[in-house]
């Protein structure tokens, strides 16, 4: 499907995958198989397959942290860290629309300005917030039949 959303979901659209990606970001900072397995309660065989898929797509990379026997940690690559807007947008949507008994569970702080924040999607040209009424999307060429 000639659509970047579809192509993105080819990589991260499988159930569990974005939750695994989310483990690598703060405040979870989980990088080892056992940690992720425990934190998510995901079956070991599914976690193995999902990590392998993320490795193949260059979203994460392995780093040796113990030599005998060899043990690896998983870390996001540049391509993986670029998923931050996807994860933060999901977080913001869940914060706004999910039922939380006592408010959103996670608090975000922007270290550059040292303030709590919510993520806002803006226009790269004028800097204003993007609303659905102010976006036009058009095909640069005809979509594949």
Binding to a copy of itself (CB under 8 A) within 24-63 occurs at 25-27, 40
Least separation, in Å, of the C-beta of 23 and a copy of itself?
A: 10
C-beta of 72: minimal distance to a copy of itself in Å? Answer: 21
> For a copy of itself, which is the closer residue by CB, 36 or 76?
76
Q: Which stretch binds a copy of itself (CB under 8 A): 30-38, 45-53, 61-69, 134-142?
A: 134-142
Residues in the chain, overall count: 145
- 141 is a contact residue toward a copy of itself (CB under 8 A): yes
Instruction: Candidates 46, 47, 55, 84: give the one binding a copy of itself (CB under 8 A).
Output: 84
Other Cβ atoms within 10 Å of 85 Cβ, number: 10
CA distance 32 to 84: 20
Interface with a copy of itself (CB under 8 A), residue from 13, 34, 62, 75: 13
Q: Is the CB of residue 91 less than 8 Å from the CB of residue 106?
A: yes
C-alpha separations of 7 from 11, 55, 79, 132, 135 in Å:
7, 16, 14, 22, 21
């Amino acid at each position: 499907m000639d659509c970047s959303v579809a192509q993105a979901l080819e990589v991260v659209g499988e159930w569990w995958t974005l939750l695994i990606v989310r483990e690598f970001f703060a405040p979870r900072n989980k990088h080892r198989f056992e940690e992720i397995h425990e934190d998510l309660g995901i079956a070991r065989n599914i976690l193995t397959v999902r990590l392998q898929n993320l490795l193949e797509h260059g979203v994460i990379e392995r780093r040796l942290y113990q030599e005998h026997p060899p043990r690896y940690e998983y870390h996001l690559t540049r391509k993986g860290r670029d998923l931050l807007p996807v994860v933060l947008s999901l977080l913001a949507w869940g914060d706004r629309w999910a039922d939380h008994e006592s408010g959103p569970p996670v608090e975000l702080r922007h270290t550059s300005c040292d303030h709590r924040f919510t993520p806002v999607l803006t226009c790269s040209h004028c800097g204003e917030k993007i609303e659905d009424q102010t976006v036009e999307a058009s095909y640069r060429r005809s979509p594949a039949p």
